[in-house]
Structure 1
Amino acid sequence: MGYTMGDLLRTLSDSGRHGDIPQVWNAYEIAKRAHGRQRRVSGDLYITHPVAVAGIVASHGGTIPAICAALLHDVIEDTRVTSNQLHAEFGPGIAGMVEDLTLDAVRSERSADPGLALVALADRLHNMRTISPLRAPRRQRASLDTLVFHVPLAHRLQVTGIATEMTELACATLDTLDSPGIRERRRRMTQAMRRADPRSAAEAVAAFGGGAALLGSGAVPEWALVSGGAGALALLAATLFGRDPRAAERLAALLRAHRRD
């Protein structure tokens, strides 16, 4: 059984935030009416997703505005609710967070508000938990994006539980996409990585199907070197396609250091 509003209210009550329950319930009611009979690819009612996201935010100490924004995070993009309506109902704080989530502003500002970042992480975590009904290309893109952007963000926010679970989910998802052809291309990529040869690695990743659209963070998290599996290889190779011209140099240096350990 999925996470429910009862679970969310229990979390708020257990943390002594009884007085905030009416505002959170109001956000839920608005989101529930807005999403109506919309369903996810899995067939679940769409409202189950923002409720689960809000639950993750609440369980990691998120503020009430962040919890409300989690409940409302898709209403501007996916329903008829407008920014003006949210401003009128909730004020600029919550409405502004929903606007930023709609625009994916957390990607463009390294010093993004921690509450905003937590909602973005919770959104991706729940999407990764429920990714199996999606087609293989979407699962691959989401998993790579999770490793390249969301896991480093979770580490910066010091929510290691989310970082660990997202890493495991993304790597497990990538591992399910294996085929004999992919395994052979991964073998070539692994050999290039072990030689710390960025050019050969880039060529191998191109054959593997790496793409530039996901890879703008320029991040090369050290934990990727020891996380293992397809996800780590895909992440390491993916950095070569980032906008940072020194990504390949830093990748080679990390690999050399790792071999010495």
Structure 2
Amino acid sequence: MMMRSERVTSLRTLLGAATLALLALPAQAAPDCGKLVHDGNSYTVCTLRADRDEIRLFHSDAQGRLLGSFSAIDSALEPEGKQLTFAMNAGMYHDDRSPVGLYLDQGVQSGPLVTRDGPGNFGLLPNGIFCLKEHAAAVIESRSYAADAPRCTYATQSGPMLVIDGKLHPRFLENGSSRYIRNGVGVAADGVTVYFAISDNRVNFHSFGRLFRDELKTPNALYFDGKVSRLHAPSIGRSDSGFPLGPIVGAVGPDD
């Protein structure tokens, strides 16, 4: 029979082990957002970790009504006692704000995977998928995804790819004349560090791709959009507004 003093010692040991286990987990923190200048262009870059931050995709509420804005998402999160700590538009959409390509929400697909050439930036192959898995993230070229789809909790398709296996998209021109405020995402080689970037001045695809390849060192990166690119980053006092958006990516934290 275990004596009382032995039971107390055993309980303390278990509590100590539990405390150490909790301390070993990465602590959730506000996304690290800041300015970065690369090759004469200014960007705002937010760094998140898929093994620490609660990153989700947002499009519609439980009744199927379009969210479309950062403020609407914040309102939808209130019953959970949570709020957005970061967000940006995350993929192209039709006039009715439905996703142009593949879209997964909690593993449920509501948009088709598109792997064919087509008009506009989305159809400038190769395009790609931003995939959020449990404690991990990836940017995957669309045809590779079609051949061997991973288990993504959330996924959004966009295009073109900015960086493919360490190389710029083959159609990008160094002196390309198409310049817009652009935003996109890249995932580091560790599979957990995620860089979300938006340009502060108008840039072409070649410059934007080189930001991810040469400065952020991401082996794969994906373009989200231009013209309507927007960022919500309360940590730096920024929350862009405008017409309703389609897919939105965001990090969720406690509502302080």
The TM-score normalised by the length of structure 2 is 0.23
**Higher relative strand content:** 2
Higher RCO (C-alpha 8 Å, min separation 6): 2
The TM-score normalised by the length of structure 1 is 0.23
